[in-house]
Amino acid sequence: MNFIKQAFHVKHEFWRYLVGSLIIAVFAIIGQVPFAVAAIVKYLREGGSITSVEEQDLMTVLEPNLNLFLMLLSFAIGFIGLIIVVKYLHNQTMRSVTTARPKIDWKRILFAFVFWGIVSSGMILIDYFANPEDYVLNFQLNRFLILALIAVLLIPIQTSLEEYIFRGYLMQGFGLLAKNRWFPLIMTSVIFGGLHVFNPEVGKLGYGVMVYYIGTGLFLGIITLMDEGMELALGFHAANNLFGALLVSADWTVLQTHSVLKDISEPGQGFGDIVIPVFIVFPILLFIFAKKYNWTNWNDKLFGNIEEPIVEDIKTID
């Protein structure tokens, strides 16, 4: 069955997707309370004033491992909100938000995770050996082990929540609204990229980096539509964030961790930062995935219409 079209068989009025998105956002905001409280309390204990809290970057107040744990906690709470919305607002299963296949294909998730983990780690190491002056060794065993535990447990939840919202939940919602496949692809990619505008990377690199975020959203949306499921996107996104958090961090990134390496270079916004990932690496990955999974009929899967069933059967998909 068509990944988007199968959502016709559950409660799919568009107002449900608006309300559902709000509920998920509320859960995620509630999940941010422990981080905000811990950061403000520590800041005040160290002599800061309550009037300057808004000007203080609270992301740098806490110890990096505690900071990462509390920051990722909000995604875990948000994921609970997502499950509640899917089950009770739409009478839908998580499987049907994930894939059009009878079962979630864990081999696809694992392949994308391992493949991109190896490639992305290799790219980091190549840059390290090519430009050693841009890095310092940041490895501290005890802190790294704690980081690894937090990252392995929570980063896949963070990335999965983002994928379920944009490549699953809203992809289906916008698809049923527009009755085509290109509109949800564009909308989810723009919204996904737009939400990253608050990342410190944008403040450091400028708004041109939004091309990378929106381009990443397009890439993940394309592999979801072509593969009739978001398994590849789940694996790719988890590997991208997990290996990045473990291997390298920088003072100007959203994830500041006790990683193996620390990037001390002055970031640029040119060819290597935007053009290579979006216009070279992602197309190569699309070619590899297409060959491995025998993707065909690109025009219809990316731009085709979605026809609503004549007789609508509102039941939960098993």
Q: How far apart are CA 53 and CA 114, in angstroms?
A: 41
3-state secondary structure of 244: helix
Which of 304, 31, 102, 19 has the alpha carbon at shortest distance from 185?
304
The reported pLDDT for the residue numbered 265 is: 85
Which of 100, 121, 76, 90 has the alpha carbon at shortest distance from 231?
100
Let me know if residue 39 belongs to a domain: yes
When computed from its CA atoms, the radius of gyration of the chain, rounded to whole angstroms, is: 20
Beta bridge partners of 136: 262
Let me know if residue 276 belongs to a domain: yes
Region 20-44: what's the mean pLDDT? Answer: 94
Which residues in 169-178 are b (16+ Cβ under 10 Å) and which e? bbbbbbbbbb
Element (H, E) at 297: none
pLDDT more than 70, % of the chain = 92
pLDDT at 156 over 80: yes
Q: How far apart are CA 203 and CA 155, in angstroms?
A: 23
Let me know if residue 309 belongs to a domain: no
Region 1-16: what's the mean pLDDT? Answer: 94
Let me know if residue 314 belongs to a domain: no
3-state secondary structure of 135: strand
β pairing state of 248-249 and 135-137: unpaired
Whether pTM > 0.95 for this model: the answer is: no
Structure tokens at 41: 């309390």
Which of 220, 225, 258, 218 has the alpha carbon at shortest distance from 239?
220
The reported pLDDT for the residue numbered 275 is: 81
Let me know if residue 162 belongs to a domain: yes
Let me know if residue 317 belongs to a domain: no
The model's confidence at residue 286, banded by pLDDT at 50, 70 and 90, is: very high
Structural domains counted in the chain: 1
Let me know if residue 296 belongs to a domain: yes
More confident residue, 269 or 104: 104
The model's confidence at residue 26, banded by pLDDT at 50, 70 and 90, is: very high
The model's confidence at residue 314, banded by pLDDT at 50, 70 and 90, is: very low
Distances (CA, A) of 75 to 58, 70, 300: 18, 10, 34
Element (H, E) at 249: strand 248-249
The model's confidence at residue 194, banded by pLDDT at 50, 70 and 90, is: very high
User: 237 lies in which domain range?
Assistant: 5-303
Let me know if residue 47 belongs to a domain: yes
Which of 13, 2, 158, 12 has the alpha carbon at shortest distance from 79?
158
Q: How far apart are CA 74 and CA 238, in angstroms?
A: 17
To the nearest whole number, what is the mean pLDDT of the chain?
A: 91
3-state secondary structure of 194: helix
Measured from the Cβ of residue 158, the count of other Cβ atoms closer than 10 Å reads: 24
Which residues in 226-264 are b (16+ Cβ under 10 Å) and which e? bbbbbbbbbbbbbbbbbbbbbbbbbeebebbbbbbbbbe
CB 7 within 8 A of CB 176: yes
Region 272-285: what's the mean pLDDT? Answer: 88
User: What does the pLDDT look like over 41-64, one tens digit per residue?
Assistant: 888 887 766 555 554 566 778 899
3-state secondary structure of 306: coil
Which 8-state DSSP code applies to residue 308?
Answer: P
